[in-house]
Chain A
Amino acid sequence: MLNMFEVIETNDMIDKDLLDVRTITIGIGLLDCIDTDLNKLCKNIYDKITSTAKDLVRVGDEISKDFGVPIVNKRISVTPIALVGGSACKTKEDFVQIAKTLDKAAKDLGVNFLGGYSAIVSKGITAADRLLIESIPQAMNETDFICSSVNLGSTKTGLNMDAVRLMGKIVKDTAIMTADRDSIGCAKLVVFCNAPDDNPFMAGAFHGVTEADAIINVGVSGPGVVRAALKRAEGENFEVLCETIKKTAFKITRVGQLVAREASKRLGIPFGIIDLSLAPTPSVGDSVAEILEEIGLERVGAPGTTAALALLNDQVKKGGVMASSYVGGLSGAFIPVSEDQGMIDAVNAGALTLEKLEAMTCVCSVGLDMIAIPGDTSEETIAGIIADEAAIGMINQKTTAVRLIPVIGKGEGEVVEFGGLLGYAPIMPVNGFSCEKFVNRGGRIPAPIHSFKN
């Protein structure tokens, strides 16, 4: 029978250390909505999403109440829209109409984000892909809850440098188009290499074509819980440190597994995966940076940061895979700047630079995330940063992502406020030397030698 200390431990995790289930995300396949008539297509999309996910918010709230654990977000991911809209959309504006339809569906359902305004162009760009990508700035400007992602490389295919160059421009254009709101459009736009098909976290969630018609993916979080556990292991050696992280990750993931199973049962939709990412929020104590500091760094960015993050990421995965048979998505530690108070403090203290963050992305589960850069950064430089990050993903057979916000009208040292989960960020300096000739070469970077395993 359960004992009191176990019950108190669980409730302390929830009440004091901010343990939560970050998101229940329903992935919905939209391929069966395809029609050559745009209005018909939009109606099909709206009907399918609103019927499949009609009970999502209610069921999420019920599960939260049953177990006394917060379920912060209820979200939807859909088939990459470039695939769905290809036969109906002849102009950028046609794609924007789909974005608005998705936005309306998200609002009517009461979910807080819908991801999948996406294109998968790791090797080549179709006409529909190009139209969708070119429509992103307008779509991000004219919708509130839609998240967009573009996968432009993989270990198997190499890097599509035409797409890299194009996305440098699109990120900048999105910033310009949403300049009146501190370029917030870019906070909903992420560029990937090796994007997973089943990621429940935004802005990069989409429902891959390898997936079933509808699927439940759950993202669990809890950096505060790991930090609290490590506080009790202060001064211990690495073996104890790793064991502590692993056990904590196991416990956190089990909660996610329970919620996922319940959500699947109550919604009548199959369970897909648990994504056991430590996802910080701007709340004090809900920080990945603070875990790294607890491990022994004065500030994130100090020498040793990459090693500390590597062990954290690995132990989180090891604890998680024991707790759930279906672990997927990104799974590991997220290191967004604006969403993590410890990261913001480290930038302000001069401890953390863009280059150090890039090194950290070699060993964490994502990439350069929610980083505000000066508004006058050129689109070529943004493309160069994307290329660097994608190359890390391609060579290391891992997912990498870039979510940069060039804040129009603001420069280094100024602060940009996004509000809510997106937080605020000091604008970080970018290396001013040019990569223009490099990113303008055009074509593809071939797949690395170790991808030829057949």
Chain B
Amino acid sequence: MNKVIITVVGKDTVGIIARVCTYLADNKINILDISQTIVSGYFNMMMITDMENATVKFTKVVEDLDVLGDEIGVKIKAQKEEIFKSMHRL
């Protein structure tokens, strides 16, 4: 397992999840869990993904998702899971 957390924050619009999922599928990144909520028109999504069999490097994913986010008009971040586990788990 090589867990990477992908977060998407921004104004809600049609097809955000579809676009992100398509990118992940194209690059063999497996989605383990998705949670999503909309707070006062703002879209918040978190995906837990596994990059074990990914066909691209992590740094490329970070850059690609950044570009994709700009296209859709949202902010997409990909971060390795450890930062969250370090902060929130003993």
With both chains docked as a complex, state the minimum distance between the C-beta of B1 and any C-beta of chain A, in angstroms.
12
Known: A7-B7, A11-B7, A62-B59. A2 touches B85 (CB 8 A): yes
Query: What residues on B are CB-neighbors of A66 within 8 Å?
Result: 58, 79-80
Interface size on B, residues (CB 8 A): 24
- Of all chain B residues, which has the CB nearest A67? B83
Contact B59 A4, beta carbon cutoff 8 Å: no
Known: A65-B59, A67-B82, A68-B79. A4 touches B48 (CB 8 A): no
Instruction: Check if A407 is an interface residue, CB within 8 A of chain B.
Output: no
Contact A10 B88, beta carbon cutoff 8 Å: yes
Contact A255 B85, beta carbon cutoff 8 Å: no
State A6–B46 Cα separation when bound (angstroms): 11
Q: Which of A7, A62, A257 contacts B84 (CB 8 A)?
A: A7
Contact B44 A1, beta carbon cutoff 8 Å: no
Q: Which of B9, B59, B80 contacts A67 (CB 8 A)?
A: B80
Known: A65-B62, A66-B58, A255-B83. A7 touches B33 (CB 8 A): no
Contact A11 B77, beta carbon cutoff 8 Å: yes
- Of all chain A residues, which has the CB nearest B36? A4
Residue-wise interface mask of A (59-74) relative to B, using a CB-CB cutoff of 8 A (1 in contact, 0 not)? 0001001111100000
Q: Which of A2, A9, A62, A69 contacts B5 (CB 8 A)?
A: A2
Query: What residues on A are CB-neighbors of B40 within 8 Å?
Result: none
With both chains docked as a complex, state the minimum distance between the C-beta of B50 and any C-beta of chain A, in angstroms.
13
Contact A4 B79, beta carbon cutoff 8 Å: no
Within B52-69, which residues are at the interface with A (CB < 8 Å)? 58-59, 62
Instruction: Check if A254 is an interface residue, CB within 8 A of chain B.
Output: yes
Query: What residues on B are CB-neighbors of A62 within 8 Å?
Result: 59
- Of all chain B residues, which has the CB nearest A13? B87
State A8–B85 Cα separation when bound (angstroms): 13
Query: What residues on A are CB-neighbors of B87 within 8 Å?
Result: 6, 10, 251, 254-255
- Of all chain B residues, which has the CB nearest A322? B90
Contact A10 B83, beta carbon cutoff 8 Å: yes
Query: What residues on B are CB-neighbors of A251 within 8 Å?
Result: 87-88
Query: What residues on A are CB-neighbors of B86 within 8 Å?
Result: 254-255, 257-258
- Of all chain B residues, which has the CB nearest A262? B82
State A99–B58 Cα separation when bound (angstroms): 40
With both chains docked as a complex, state the minimum distance between the C-beta of B5 and any C-beta of chain A, in angstroms.
6
Instruction: Check if A237 is an interface residue, CB within 8 A of chain B.
Output: no
Instruction: Check if B81 is an interface residue, CB within 8 A of chain A.
Output: yes
Query: What residues on A are CB-neighbors of B35 within 8 Å?
Result: 3-4
Query: What residues on B are CB-neighbors of A258 within 8 Å?
Result: 82-83, 86
Interface residues of B, Cβ cutoff 8 Å to A = 5, 7, 9, 33, 35, 37, 44, 46, 48, 58-59, 62, 77-88
Interface residues of A, Cβ cutoff 8 Å to B = 1-4, 6-11, 62, 65-69, 251, 254-255, 257-258
Q: What would 6 more interface pairs be, CB under 8 Å, given A8-B44, A68-B83?
A: A2-B85, A4-B37, A6-B87, A6-B88, A8-B46, A254-B86
List, sorted by A's number, 30 A–B pairs whose CB atoms are closer than 8 Å.
A1-B33, A1-B48, A2-B46, A2-B48, A2-B88, A3-B35, A4-B35, A4-B37, A6-B88, A7-B5, A7-B7, A7-B46, A10-B83, A10-B84, A10-B87, A10-B88, A11-B7, A11-B9, A11-B77, A66-B80, A67-B79, A68-B62, A68-B78, A68-B79, A68-B83, A254-B86, A255-B86, A257-B86, A258-B83, A258-B86
Shortest 3 CB-CB distances between A and B: which pairs? A68-B79, A67-B83, A258-B86
